Structure 1
């Protein structure tokens, strides 16, 4: 009897042509069948957005033994939804976002299209992981990530994850990793987020830019601290955003 290999659904927010996602395919294609459905161009910062007002299209770019690469004109979340509904012949064993060009630590978790991919998989009760490297260059070197990406993927395939929990994995840009830290998300703030310009035709316009500030730099249990000190940061991230610690206080307002 033929034994089916695990099936991975991979997407990103940098586009199907990005080096990070293609390196990820190369790292994992010997341990699983792979379906890629990724945006047809960069969609950074789209978080969990999906397209409600435009028609979506799929294009097949590559098909070989164990690997299919598709693009979609929508958001990263659109890509996951479209793949699950129209490409995958069976439910994937795992959804992976990345490898992202740039980190997705701290509050970037909430803006990241890479994490949007992972959260969408988790919402579908599929074990899901996001991989990101703290290097935004198009030709970033992803090879040092290979053993860690393979080990984390294999462990999740073998052991699964708790319901409603996905993993946000960020790699520092350092010559040698100091190890792995399982840590929480740091509190941080983006500031000076817009840059104003004046167009020669007489109107003002703005670019979204911004600078990040770690608001708890001394805390040693955060993803920011781990990355700053050369550690791979793994942050278990949950879908349930209920603030349980605040429920009693809010209930007291209404004598509940």
Structure 2
């Protein structure tokens, strides 16, 4: 039987150490095909390119060049997946793996994440997908200890199939391998960012702003991704892209909207 075709993408850019590690890990599981941004696209969410052209080119990086097809793309993470599925891939992939992100995409961060938006774009197209993130923002982060866990999760997803219309959001705490306690299936913690803007003035007298803020956890549950990460576990949150608040439909139906 042919090996599974694995589409690999990310939001930190095609040269990011996290993606290079992921490409190396996935080569042991199947045929790897990479389509990733040509520059960092963190925090882009599910943005897509509508008012300008997209460019893509075949590239070769490191030791993977001989047996891995890789393309850089001028667009967003979601653009990368769209272009891969419509133009670049030789056939439909068996799974899409996004990451490994440099930094957490747990709780509310999933909304802003380009890593997860790439995975979600694949999910929308009916392709099983997983986003991986390591809770270490350092560009030179060590990803080697994540290999066994990532391979196990991907192998299980290939064997058992991810439920329809669900994408897995996997976050790995910044701990040594021997300190990791295992894997927990979780819900997304309720959290927010207490944001403010650092206002400054440039030499020309024009005001500019830097967005800053502090992460605020509003959830004390022990079944959340934040609890798992704080207690030494890898978190997996099954994430859906149907944003309907089903529990609110009946309440709003009681409004006098058609009177």
- Could you state the TM-score of these two structures normalised by the residue count of structure 1? 0.95
- Aligned residue number for residue 39 of structure 1: 37
Please report how far the alpha carbon of residue 65 of structure 1 lies from its aligned counterpart in structure 2 after TM superposition.
Answer: 5.0
Alpha-carbon RMSD: 1.4
CA–CA distance in 2 between the matches of 1:236 and 1:66?
32
- Aligned residue number for residue 214 of structure 2: 211
Is the counterpart of residue 78 in structure 1 residue 76 in structure 2?
Answer: no
- Aligned residue number for residue 252 of structure 2: 250
Secondary structure in 2 aligned to 1:191?
strand
CA–CA distance in 1 between the matches of 2:38 and 2:66?
23
Secondary structure in 2 aligned to 1:209?
strand
- Which of 187, 194, 199 in structure 2 is aligned with 1:196? 199
Secondary structure in 2 aligned to 1:116?
helix
Q: Does the aligned pair in 2 maintain the 1:183–1:222 contact within 8 Å? A: yes
Please report how far the alpha carbon of residue 219 of structure 1 lies from its aligned counterpart in structure 2 after TM superposition.
Answer: 1.4
Is the counterpart of residue 182 in structure 1 residue 185 in structure 2?
Answer: yes
Aligned residues, how many? Answer: 253
- Which of 37, 47, 50 in structure 2 is aligned with 1:49? 47
- Aligned residue number for residue 158 of structure 2: 157
Secondary structure in 1 aligned to 2:199?
strand
- Aligned residue number for residue 17 of structure 2: 19
Secondary structure in 1 aligned to 2:45?
coil
Please report how far the alpha carbon of residue 81 of structure 1 lies from its aligned counterpart in structure 2 after TM superposition.
Answer: 0.7
| Alpha carbons of structure 1 residues 45 and 172: separation in structure 2 relative to 1, 3 Å | same
CA–CA distance in 2 between the matches of 1:170 and 1:228?
11
Q: Does the aligned pair in 2 maintain the 1:32–1:66 contact within 8 Å? A: no
Q: Does the aligned pair in 1 maintain the 2:12–2:102 contact within 8 Å? A: yes
- Which of 238, 241, 246 in structure 2 is aligned with 1:239? 241
Q: Deviations along 1:64-116, whole A, 9 cap, x unmatched?
A: 45411111010000111111111101000001110000010000000000001
Q: Deviations along 1:148-191, whole A, 9 cap, x unmatched?
A: 10011111111111111010000001221111111111111111
Please report how far the alpha carbon of residue 208 of structure 1 lies from its aligned counterpart in structure 2 after TM superposition.
Answer: 2.0
Deviates more, 1:137-146 or 1:56-65: 56-65
CA–CA distance in 1 between the matches of 2:249 and 2:4?
41
CA–CA distance in 2 between the matches of 1:77 and 1:122?
11
